[in-house]
Amino acid sequence: MLRFLRRGDKSSPDSAAEQDTPLPSKGNLLQKLSKRLTKTSQALGDGLGRLLLGKKEIDDELLEEIETQLLMADIGIDTTQRIMNKLAGGIQRQALLNSDALYQQLKDELVLTLKPSEQNFTIDCSAGPFVILVVGVNGAGKTTTIGKLAKRFQREGLSVMLAAGDTFRAAAVEQLQVWGERNDVPVVAQHSGSDSASVIFDALQSATAKQVDVLIADTAGRLHNKDNLMEELKKVVRVMSKIDPSAPQEVLLVLDATMGQNAVTQAEQFKQVVGVTGLAVTKLDGTARGGVVFAISEKLGLPIRFIGVGEQIDDLRPFDQHEFVEAIFNPEDGQ
């Protein structure tokens, strides 16, 4: 759940009201999410439904087919193994007597897999700017996600500033500046090729002086295995803490779902270097690899703050484990 603690609020995060923007009814939202997740739903929900629903006898062949289906949907080897062991245990204890029960148990297990990923996210600007440092490889969807987030926060009545910390590509700075102008969001930038840490340091100084609520900093995404990118990110964190020892309040790693298991590997590398505190998983629309969300949850144990399900400004949603599984398994429910 996304919450906000505003400037001047003295309450604890726990008492912060749920202030997610009023949106259409839950049914409509689920329906829309289902539509966006159609390909994953076909690969995972439909596939397992076809295999299991209609009370078939459980045998080794069926179990193998389930395993193959899970692996093909990019759930990952470890998660698949764990779930298969759990199912085997249930069958042995005679707790799972037919394929319908197996289907239900499988769905429950998948929801459980996502448990570590669903945590409250409090944007606490009560004591100064809440700084979100956005990291991830090139093309993952960082800048797009920043735009979507800025809009969402603006709608909540929060003031937002952006830092064009991707100084590596001139186009990246311009992209953010143009977007900022169009949407009336100030963007702190320097010429391309300048030091990312220095841009972000300036931005944090300015945001603090101007009492901005949320500062979102973009960063370069040169390949994760390049030492200099990781060094640059470490430096960004170091200089920020000179102004505010608790900044950045959030290090948001943006992962592209279409990368499948590679997204998990990337995340592990970023996690080692910059203390990632949350994830945004993008491009879940149009990919059959949405199962990777389960692998991400199992392997990384980090909260998934948002999922990206399209290129438009509203196509970013706070992550909800039940909703995600429902959208994949029961797309017709939302209609």
Ligand X SMILES: Nc1nc2c(ncn2[C@@H]2O[C@H](COP(=O)(O)OP(=O)(O)O)[C@@H](O)[C@H]2O)c(=O)[nH]1
Name the site residues for ligand X (rule: CB under 6 A).
136, 138-144, 221, 254, 282-283, 285-286, 308-311, 315
Instruction: Indicate the pairing of strand 2-5 with strand 121-124.
Output: parallel
Contact between 137 and 166 (Cβ < 8 Å): no
Instruction: Name which of ligand X, Mg ion, none residue 283 binds, using a CB cut-off of 5 to 8 Å depending on partner kind.
Output: ligand X
Minimum distance from CB of 118 to ligand X (Å)?
19
Closest Cα to residue 155, out of 306, 313, 320, 1? 313
- Segment 246 to 275, residues that bind Mg ion, using CB under 5 A: none
What's the CA gap between 170 and 87, in Å, rounded? Answer: 52
What's the CA gap between 113 and 275, in Å, rounded? Answer: 22
Minimum distance from CB of 244 to Mg ion (Å)?
24
Compare residues 125 and 164 and give the one whose CB is closer to ligand X: 164
Phi and psi (nearest 5°) for 18?
A: -75, 115
Compare residues 124 and 320 and give the one whose CB is closer to ligand X: 320
What's the CA gap between 75 and 83, in Å, rounded? Answer: 10
- Nearest residue to ligand X, by Cβ distance, number only: 308
Instruction: Name which of ligand X, Mg ion, none residue 128 binds, using a CB cut-off of 5 to 8 Å depending on partner kind.
Output: none
Instruction: Name which of Mg ion, ligand X, none residue 311 binds, using a CB cut-off of 5 to 8 Å depending on partner kind.
Output: ligand X
Supply 20's token pair: 């997610």
Instruction: Name which of ligand X, Mg ion, none residue 119 binds, using a CB cut-off of 5 to 8 Å depending on partner kind.
Output: none
Which listed range, 39-47, 167-175, 181-189, 226-234, lies at the site for Mg ion (CB under 5 A)?
167-175
Contact between 220 and 172 (Cβ < 8 Å): yes
Contact between 89 and 64 (Cβ < 8 Å): no
Contact with Mg ion (CB under 5 A) among 143, 249, 287, 297: 143
Q: Using CB under 5 A as the criterion, which residues of the chain lie in contact with Mg ion when the complex forms? A: 142-143, 172
